Amino acid sequence: MLCDEQTLEALEFSRVRDRVIAETRTERGRRYAAQIEPSGDFDVVRREQARTEAARALLASADLHVGSAIDTEPYTSAAAQGRTLAPGELRAIAAALASAAAAFRSVREDLALRELVTGYGRLDDLRNTIEHAIDERGAVLDRASPALSRIRKSLKQALDESRERVTNIVRSARYAKIVQDTVVTIREGRLVVPIKAEFAGEFPGIVHDTSASGQTFFVEPLAALEANNRVRTLRIEEEREVDRILRELSKDIGERAGAIEANVEMLAHVDLVIAKAAVGERMRAVTPALEESASIDLLAARHPLLEEKAVAQSVALDERACIVVISGPNMGGKSVALRMVGLLVAMTYAGLQIPAKDGTRVGRFARVIADIGDEQSTAANASTFSAHLDRMRELIAAANEGLLFLVDEIGTGTEPSAGAALAIATLEYLLTTGARGIVTTHSTELKLFAHATEGVANASVRFDPQTFAPTYHLDVGSPGQSFTFALAEARGVRDDVVARAGALLESGEREYERALEELAQRNAALEAEREALARQRKVEAEESAELAARADALRIEHERFVQRAEERLQRALRDFVGELQRRAPETRGRARLTPAQSALLSRTLDAMRQDLGVGPESASETPQRSVKLDLPLTGMQRRESSSSRSARFEAASNARSELDVRGKRYVEAEPLVDRWLDEAVLAGTTQLRLIHGKGTGMLGRGLQSFLRDHAAVASVRYGNEEEGSHGVTIIEVKG
């Protein structure tokens, strides 16, 4: 056992347990939730934490749900002993089996939860049989058996016939003055007529009942006697058939009681795990990291019972601080911090997640002992010095490196100096055993002991030094003030009385209190500055993130604009060249713009890009060649050259099967490609590889458009993965 009942009561563990109970959906799961407690087996703790975390994940994905279910054991046991179950009991068993089947389907694929459902067995046939025979309200349906269906059909016909006969009698003019009411009623399962008492002897029939006043007799007409007898006979047959059906179903339940109980047991355990996960979800809790060392590191932890009022606390117990001594005035939150640590450890060992930040760690402990008195919530004399001594004896007897102890107001209940001395001696011994613990105190001696002893750390609950109102924050590293005189003044105690009390205090202790007061004020100022800086950093981080997001949006929009502008410029250039070619007379020859004209066109495009703020695709280079233009042969001269064979030889010697125009603008690349094609035709090259790069894709698309219109080109395509993909165009030259 990790914690005894006294410790669990002091930590108010039952209030957390009640929250788990409230989240359960099954009777047996509720019973198991009422029994949860911290486990002393660390392997079990690991397993239960893994299960709770897995269930929490399934809850978050809406893949996990448990339907309500009764505890079937009393009914399956009764059925096994031969008792016939009521229709509602049978239907409740079917509902439990349906919930078990749904739970099994939800968790069977999860590695952490799969072990819970190993005992499950399919009982769909039994569940379907019950649901076919009995509805949700516990009524046996006509379809439960062919015989029942036939009997009820005959019964309906007999009832209709009987009702018709009796109704005709009631409404007959012959009996108008003797009938009390025209409403047909039922007595002892038979249809009767309400007759006025003074005319009872004049109506042929059998009296079955009288009214409370004696003024009305309920008489079964002799004319309806046969029909009523038939109704009665069919009702007896119906009861016998229903009883037979219930006996058969109960027999099936009894024969399969073990399998039913295994399924409902599985359902209860799944229900409990989901309830734990739901509590963790509501608390915004996390799964603590479990470590082999006897240590605790709670990060921004919150007391689980204070809900929105809880103030986050960070507490660590490790080799550097095996024992923490929390000091400070009453009503400041010392006991709350103490209970929080113990309760979070107990919750961890019970398989519950704890309200803290990710990174929180809880180590291996063999025993947790708490001695926490509360005059407002504990029975009288529960915190007497004798009781404290008994608990101290238990602590000392259990002391080892696996012990976690939590003591509120250690050493109180006796003469202060003697109590402090006993407390120090106890802590010294516990420290030598490797135990971990937290104590609260008002004792100056204990504060000095913590300051001077390696492995022991002071801590204080923070107060506003101006208003003396508690902030409930825990400051580890500095002892707390009692604020005795300041609080007395704030509560209206006479100034002269407070002054006299200060004078009576020994000078050394006055200096100590004054030093603590200065330290508290300095810490408060530093904390306020730290919090202000944290808020400022948060605002700056948010503004920086917003600016970065806006910059990203602007960059994306600029890139889109650049792409659209470049596409428009390239399209305008192609349209311009095309227009020039359309205006020139058709001719077999081709002429090109002069270098000066090409340079002027290039400068014009660069100026347009600069005006648009998009810039050229690459650093400007002096274009070597530019736009082609078809002109008439008139006025053109043939250049004298060597023979055609020599010209082809020269072209072939200079021909290249690959051309790289990466980094060039279209207006620069197009004439280079055109000349390259001419050389390839003269050299007889049939396949060419043009490297233009991927980039925005505009250069490649523009050049492919030019190539498709070129008289020497047979086909154009992008390269495959081995050839360079969309960064390369493969050209087939006409033979």
> Would you give the distance in Å from CA 424 to the centre of its chain?
46
Rounded Cα gap, residues 367 and 7, in angstroms: 10
- Residue 589 vs residue 24, higher pLDDT: 24
Q: What is the mean pLDDT of residues 327-355?
A: 90
> Which residues, 6+ apart, have CB-to-CB distance to 676 below 8 Å?
656, 659, 688
Tell me, yes or no, whether 220 and 261 share the same domain: no
Q: What is the mean pLDDT of residues 228-257?
A: 94
647-683 confidence digits (pLDDT tens) = 444 444 556 788 998 888 887 888 889 888 888 887 7
Tell me, yes or no, whether 112 and 155 share the same domain: no
Rounded Cα gap, residues 168 and 162, in angstroms: 10
Here the CATH number for the domain that contains residue 696 is 3.30.1370.110
Q: What do you get for the CA distance between the two ends of the chain, in Å?
A: 94
What crossing angle do the helices spanning 87-107 and 73-80 adopt, rounded to 10°?
Answer: 120
- Residue 27 vs residue 530, higher pLDDT: 27
Domain boundary at 265, 283, 301, which? 283
Q: Is the pLDDT of residue 633 over 50?
A: no
Taking a C-beta distance cutoff of 8 angstroms, is the pair 399, 428 a contact? no
Q: Is the pLDDT of residue 556 over 60?
A: yes
Q: Identify whether 545 is part of a domain.
A: no
Rounded Cα gap, residues 12 and 521, in angstroms: 34
> What was the pLDDT predicted at 615?
58
**Average pLDDT value over all residues in the chain:** 83
Taking a C-beta distance cutoff of 8 angstroms, is the pair 92, 70 a contact? yes
**Where do the DSSP E strands lie in 165-226?**
185-187, 190-196, 205-210, 216-221
Taking a C-beta distance cutoff of 8 angstroms, is the pair 700, 694 a contact? yes
Rounded Cα gap, residues 563 and 561, in angstroms: 5
Which residues are 315's β-sheet partners? 298
264-323 confidence digits (pLDDT tens) = 999 999 999 999 999 999 999 999 999 999 999 999 999 999 888 888 999 999 989 999
Q: What is the mean pLDDT of residues 379-396?
A: 74
What is the band of 598 on the pLDDT scale with cuts at 50, 70, 90? low
> What was the pLDDT predicted at 330?
67
> What was the pLDDT predicted at 435?
96
433-485 confidence digits (pLDDT tens) = 999 999 999 888 898 899 889 999 998 877 665 666 666 777 787 776 666 66
Tell me, yes or no, whether 114 and 261 share the same domain: yes
Tell me, yes or no, whether 315 and 188 share the same domain: no
> What was the pLDDT predicted at 275?
96
Tell me, yes or no, whether 192 and 295 share the same domain: no
> What was the pLDDT predicted at 46?
97
Range of weakest confidence among 136-145, 359-368, 694-703:
694-703
Tell me, yes or no, whether 636 and 721 share the same domain: yes
> What was the pLDDT predicted at 484?
67
> What was the pLDDT predicted at 541?
85
Question: Contacts for 388-397 with beta carbons within 8 Å, 24 or more apart?
Answer: 388/412, 388/413, 391/6, 392/422, 392/426, 394/369, 395/369, 395/371, 395/426, 395/430, 396/426, 396/429, 396/430
Tell me, yes or no, whether 596 and 626 share the same domain: yes
What is the band of 508 on the pLDDT scale with cuts at 50, 70, 90? low
Q: Identify whether 9 is part of a domain.
A: yes
Residue with tokens 């690459």: 618
Angle formed at CA 241 by CA 240 and CA 244, multiple of 5 degrees: 85
Q: Identify whether 526 is part of a domain.
A: no
Q: Identify whether 537 is part of a domain.
A: no
- Residue 183 vs residue 129, higher pLDDT: 129
Q: What is the mean pLDDT of residues 524-544?
A: 79
Domain boundary at 248, 274, 305, which? 248
> What was the pLDDT predicted at 487?
66
- Residue 156 vs residue 645, higher pLDDT: 156
Tell me, yes or no, whether 161 and 111 share the same domain: no
Rounded Cα gap, residues 23 and 30, in angstroms: 8
Q: Identify whether 368 is part of a domain.
A: yes
> What was the pLDDT predicted at 24?
96
Taking a C-beta distance cutoff of 8 angstroms, is the pair 276, 66 a contact? no
Rounded Cα gap, residues 342 and 8, in angstroms: 9
> What was the pLDDT predicted at 587?
44
241-250 confidence digits (pLDDT tens) = 999 999 999 9
Rounded Cα gap, residues 117 and 55, in angstroms: 14
Here the CATH number for the domain that contains residue 406 is 3.40.50.300
Overall domain count for the chain: 4
- Residue 370 vs residue 215, higher pLDDT: 370
41-53 confidence digits (pLDDT tens) = 999 999 999 999 9
97-110 confidence digits (pLDDT tens) = 999 999 999 999 89
Tell me, yes or no, whether 645 and 699 share the same domain: yes
Range of the domain at 71: 5-123+256-283
Q: Identify whether 218 is part of a domain.
A: yes
Please, what's the largest Cα pairwise distance for the chain? 150
Taking a C-beta distance cutoff of 8 angstroms, is the pair 605, 666 a contact? no
- Residue 609 vs residue 459, higher pLDDT: 459
Tell me, yes or no, whether 361 and 260 share the same domain: no
Here the CATH number for the domain that contains residue 201 is 1.10.1420
Q: Is the pLDDT of residue 157 over 80?
A: yes
> What was the pLDDT predicted at 272?
97
Rounded Cα gap, residues 662 and 555, in angstroms: 24
What is the C-alpha radius of gyration for the chain, rounded to an integer number of angstroms? 48
What crossing angle do the helices spanning 87-107 and 225-255 adopt, rounded to 10°?
Answer: 40
Q: Is the pLDDT of residue 718 over 70?
A: yes
Per-position DSSP letters for 645-656, written without gaps between them: HHHHHHHHHH--
Tell me, yes or no, whether 607 and 482 share the same domain: no
Tell me, yes or no, whether 156 and 276 share the same domain: no
